[in-house]
Amino acid sequence: MVVLTVPVAERRAVFKKLLALPDNRVCFDCPQKKPMWASSTFGVFICLDCAGGQRRLGTHLTFVRSVDMDEWTPEQLEAMKLGGNKRARLYFRDNGVMDLHQRQDLKYSSSTAKTYRTKLQREVQASLDKGTVLEKEQTKKEKKEEGDGLHRLMQGLEVEKGGEEVLPKGKKEEPPRATSAPELAEYGKTPPEEEGEKVSVPTPKKAPPEPKGTLSAGMLLGAQRRSARASWTTRRTSTSSSRSP
């Protein structure tokens, strides 16, 4: 399975916003300013020195990423959005970890750290699943329309054999709308508008292009699911509508 990562432009935009928050401008483990590293396990920003320290603790305790040099998955980025230094600080203090500058091994193996990590990861999953639920509802609606359209198509073929097979209008999958044409061109992709003019033959067609650069994490996941579904739909359509020899 391909591991999805958030496009660089989107990642940078997210971090720009997050790093503008006062609490995120100071390392979560020490008083150093302008942290450019993070623990995606705890959703906190840390300085280079403390990143090194956390890395030595092992990935079973904390997963360290560079804000600007590493690739980030939607899950990891979501943890930073939902977490943040302020929220972690309040949680740790409320749960008895008063000294946030204490030894990292003690801090991150504490029961407070464990419960916070579990809580945050659960929220990340729920947040990403929420996007998936919306996606599924959309799918159901599309499927229904497709079914009706296919039914009409089959009826039409029985009456008029040898006639040109034309897919019902409105069947085309909507590609994610997040990029303008110039942006797409920049990535060497065909704008979806042009593609729409030749979607009338039920031969297996390529999945809609997945514009990069400005997709949100949820949309990116959605795009992958959509294209998987699109190829499945195409297969099904071409099998069921092919006439016997």
Cα separation, 245 vs 236, in Å, equals 18
State the nearest-atom distance from the C-beta of 220 to Zn ion, in Å.
Answer: 31
Q: Does 47 bind Zn ion (CB under 5 A)?
A: yes
**Cβ-contact 85, 26 below 8 angstroms:** yes
Q: Which of 13, 30, 36, 57 binds Zn ion (CB under 5 A)?
A: 30
Smallest distance, Zn ion to C-beta of residue 54, A:
9
| Chosen residue from 18, 26, 27, 88 binding Zn ion by CB under 5 A | 27
Q: Which residues pair with 45 in a beta bridge?
A: 38
* Distance in Å, CB of 32 to Zn ion, minimum: 4
- Contact of 220 with 4, CB cutoff 8 Å: yes
- State which of residues 29, 135, 146, 210 lies at the interface with Zn ion (CB under 5 A): 29
Q: At CA 7, angle to CA 41 and CA 60, rounded to 5?
A: 20
Binders in 134-173 for Zn ion, by CB under 5 A: none
Using the contact rule CB under 5 A, the part of the chain among 15-23, 24-32, 66-74, 215-223 near Zn ion is: 24-32
Distant-in-sequence, close-in-space partners of 183: CB < 8 Å, separation ≥ 6: 211, 213, 214
* Closest to Zn ion by CB, 87 or 172: 87
From 18, 26, 38, 50, residue interacting with Zn ion (rule: CB under 5 A): 50
